[in-house]
Amino acid sequence: MARAKIKRGSTSVDMTPMCDVAFLLLTFFILAAQFKPTEAVNVTPPSSVSNKVAPEKNFLNVTITKDNKVFLIMDPAIKADVLDELGKETNMSFSAQDKKNFVNSDFVGVPFDQLKQFIALRPEQVKAEAASLPGIPVDSTNNQLKTWISAAINARMGETLNFLIKGDDATKYPTFKAVVDAFKANDQYKYNLVTNSKAIPEGSELYKKNHGKPE
């Protein structure tokens, strides 16, 4: 009797397609990943249950460090116009080189009288000095943040600017209030506070509201 011959397949599988897939995925993830923009100043924001993503266009970000210094970061797209407007409002003149420097700079962290030297610094130099920067004055006698905000509003007349306030956990409340007052002086009352997200506590009123009340 003839025995049925079991055909023995090779146990080694062709790995080429799998290899292709692996590297395709790898390439995709690397290319799709967005690099975190270098943070000008190191700030740990508090967390909130809000799940709204911070706006990334037309923004004016006021960052308050833990030493209560105020820095201003803005959308690179509006920078050139803001500087023009600031020149008009403060009677300062900026050369073409100053403007170029300003657009390339990451943030503003000095009073007006040091602005030109500050924006001429290279990023490495700024980083080295970050801890000793004086910040933008926000006290009631010399509120330069107010001028910056008004310059930004006038530079983008008719468009909505997103005002972000990003504070550190350890920032003292009076500094935050001074920043809010600077906005208020320009008739701006809506802000976004940049926070880290955290989960809504289970069983809380908001949780019930979002999930429908159990009957």
d(CA 50, CA 152): 27
Q: Is 67 in the site for other proteins (CB under 8 A)?
A: no
d(CA 81, CA 74): 11
Instruction: Tally Cβ neighbours within 10 Å of residue 147.
Output: 19
Q: Is 90 in the site for other proteins (CB under 8 A)?
A: no
* Residue number with CB closer to other proteins (78 or 164): 164
Q: Is 33 in the site for other proteins (CB under 8 A)?
A: yes
**Amino acid in position 16:** T
CB 171 within 8 A of CB 42: no
- What's the closest the beta carbon of residue 4 comes to other proteins, in angstroms? 30
Q: Is 169 in the site for other proteins (CB under 8 A)?
A: yes
- What's the closest the beta carbon of residue 27 comes to other proteins, in angstroms? 10
Q: Is 42 in the site for other proteins (CB under 8 A)?
A: no
Q: Is 39 in the site for other proteins (CB under 8 A)?
A: no
d(CA 105, CA 99): 10
From 92, 152, 153, 139, select the one nearest 119 (Cα to Cα): 92
Q: Is 117 in the site for other proteins (CB under 8 A)?
A: no
Q: Is 204 in the site for other proteins (CB under 8 A)?
A: yes
- What's the closest the beta carbon of residue 174 comes to other proteins, in angstroms? 6
Q: Is 123 in the site for other proteins (CB under 8 A)?
A: no
DSSP 3-state of 101: helix
CA distances from 99 to 39, 57, 79, 120, 187 (A): 22, 21, 9, 10, 28
* Residue number with CB closer to other proteins (37 or 158): 37
Contacts (Cβ under 8 Å, ≥6 apart) of 32: none
Number of amino acids touching other proteins (CB under 8 A): 60
User: Interface with other proteins by CB under 8 A: which residues?
Assistant: 12, 14-16, 18-19, 22-23, 25-26, 29-30, 33, 36, 45-55, 64, 164-177, 180, 183-184, 187, 189-197, 200-201, 204-207, 209
